[in-house]
Amino acid sequence: MLLWKVRLLGKGILGIVLITCLIFLSKGVIYGQDIYKIGAVLQMTGSAGSYGPLFKSGCELAMEDINAQGGIKDKKLEILFEDSRSLPTAAIAAMKKLCAIDKVPAVIMGGSGLVLASASVANGNKVVLVNGAALSPKIKEAGEYVFSSISDASVEVKWMAEYLIKKRGIKKVALFYLNNEMGLGAKDEFEKEFLKNGGHIVAIESHEENTTDVRTQLAKIKSAKPEAVYLASHHKESGLVMKQAGIMGVKTKDIPWFSFAPMEGPATIELGGAAAEGIVYTAPAFDPTGPDPKMREFGEKYKKKYGNLPGLYSATMYDGVQLIAWGISNSTYSGEGIKIALEKVKDFPGVSGRITIDQHAVIGPIILKTVRDGKFVRY
């Protein structure tokens, strides 16, 4: 009798344990379904590590705003951040981990070489890769699962090539570019467009990432006697170039310098100092202090959280995350669903401006900016 009672009690305990386990498991499934996860592979360290915090702040603010507004289909958004260390091999490894282990349907990334290196992983796994800050024209041809939330360099460079000849009457230009996917792409596009419009390239020089001395290249540019210099580089290297150009007598007061959006960053002013004053550059029409209410609201919200106004890349990374969220909302939580949704994006109200995706590329309005009194302002 006692043994029977023990057995019965044992069965009861086992039943309770089983029921409890089922409850926890079901809660686990519900919990998992209550979160939509996406990935972010950013240059937090390495040669382009200065961009990482700018990219991440935009992503984080987008995630916070989405969740504060009820999430996506009543589910919270979570971003899994990975560091590419500014290396294509590390970016590929991070992309593979997010696809195979974390099973995310979409990843946001910046850096032309990193996006292009990771594109095959995205396409092979049918995971959407949103480029939020890279400018290589090759990205729009990187595959059916690769999209952008920012215009590529060909838009800015073409605009500037025509502007120099038709508006400024400049026919002889020296090219100075960063030797990576972004810089090469911009150099090739500028050369093609400038020559097509009747211009002449009198010198072409390059520099490497993290370079500390460009005096030899600047001496060659100076001896070629151009009417202007077009610089295609990151803000860190742009600051160094402008600083040494000032020392060598080829600063903006001696000869006009022109550039594009990637040179806008704190290092340009910190390193370039007075020599950077007056450089004119193209940029997507993002102005957090301008008349556009959505841009201005984003600028105020960003400054409240981070203590300073946002740059272009914080805005385009914000928009990239918002586009992914929009894709999930208007389709399914899957790479294929998000891809189908993003292919239909037209006049999306981004904080960097209205976004229309045409053949996986973004074409938006361009403005001219300059460095004045140590600040980046509209020209």
18: in domain: no
Q: Could you tell me the pLDDT band of residue 4, with boundaries at 50, 70 and 90?
A: very low
Separation of alpha carbons 86 and 375, rounded Å? 27
344 and 372 in a single domain? The answer is no
243: in domain: yes
Burial of 9: CB neighbours in 10 Å, binned 0-12, 13-18, 19+:
exposed
| pLDDT of 370 | 96
162 and 229 in a single domain? The answer is yes
181 and 124 in a single domain? The answer is no
With a CB cutoff of 8 Å and minimum separation 6, the contacts of 125 are 99, 100, 335
| pLDDT of 11 | 47
Q: Give me the residue label for tokens 């502007």.
A: 163
- Structural domains in the chain (count): 2
194 and 314 in a single domain? The answer is no
19: in domain: no
Task: Tell me the sheet residues that pair with 107.
Answer: 39, 129
CATH number of the domain within which 93 lies? 3.40.50.2300
Average pLDDT over residues 122-151: 95
Average pLDDT over residues 348-353: 94
In the chain, count of helices (H) and strands (E)?
12, 16
| pLDDT of 290 | 86
Q: Could you tell me the pLDDT band of residue 137, with boundaries at 50, 70 and 90?
A: confident
Average pLDDT over residues 61-76: 97
Separation of alpha carbons 146 and 307, rounded Å? 33
Separation of alpha carbons 74 and 333, rounded Å? 13
Q: Could you tell me the pLDDT band of residue 31, with boundaries at 50, 70 and 90?
A: very low
Render the burial of 128-149: b for 16+ CB within 10 Å, e for the rest. Answer: bbbbbbbbbbbbbebbebbbbb
Task: Tell me the sheet residues that pair with 283.
Answer: 367
Q: Could you tell me the pLDDT band of residue 323, with boundaries at 50, 70 and 90?
A: very high
Separation of alpha carbons 114 and 41, rounded Å? 9
Average pLDDT over residues 62-85: 97
4: in domain: no
Whether residue 309 has pLDDT greater than 80: yes
| pLDDT of 33 | 59
| pLDDT of 365 | 80
239 and 373 in a single domain? The answer is yes
309: in domain: yes
**What is the number of other CB atoms lying within 10 angstroms of the CB of residue 5?**
9
Domain encompassing residue 278: 154-284+368-378
Whether residue 360 has pLDDT greater than 90: no
* Alpha helices for the chain (secondary structure H): 2-33, 52-68, 88-100, 112-125, 153-166, 181-196, 215-223, 235-247, 266-272, 293-306, 312-329, 335-342
373: in domain: yes
303 and 271 in a single domain? The answer is no
Burial of 182: CB neighbours in 10 Å, binned 0-12, 13-18, 19+:
buried
Give this prediction's pTM.
0.80
Task: Tell me the sheet residues that pair with 370.
Answer: 280, 377
Q: In Å, how far from its chain's centre is CA 48?
A: 12
Average pLDDT over residues 63-73: 97
Whether residue 343 has pLDDT greater than 50: yes
Cβ proximity of 341 and 122 under 8 Å: no
Phi-psi domain of 284 (left: phi exceeds 0; alpha: psi -120 through 50; beta: other): beta
260 and 306 in a single domain? The answer is no
Which of 115-124, 288-297, 360-369 comes out lowest in average pLDDT? 360-369
169 and 271 in a single domain? The answer is yes
**What is the number of other CB atoms lying within 10 angstroms of the CB of residue 89?**
11
Mean pLDDT of the chain: 90
Cβ proximity of 185 and 135 under 8 Å: yes
340: in domain: yes
Grouping H, G, I as helix, E, B as strand and the rest as coil, residue 345 is: coil
203 and 232 in a single domain? The answer is yes
254 and 309 in a single domain? The answer is no
Which of 21-30, 209-218, 236-245, 282-291 comes out lowest in average pLDDT? 21-30
215: in domain: yes
Whether residue 28 has pLDDT greater than 80: no
73 and 167 in a single domain? The answer is no
The C-alpha angle with vertex 319 and arms to 315 and 321, in degrees rounded to 5, equals 120
121 and 239 in a single domain? The answer is no
Q: Which amino acid is at 367?
A: I
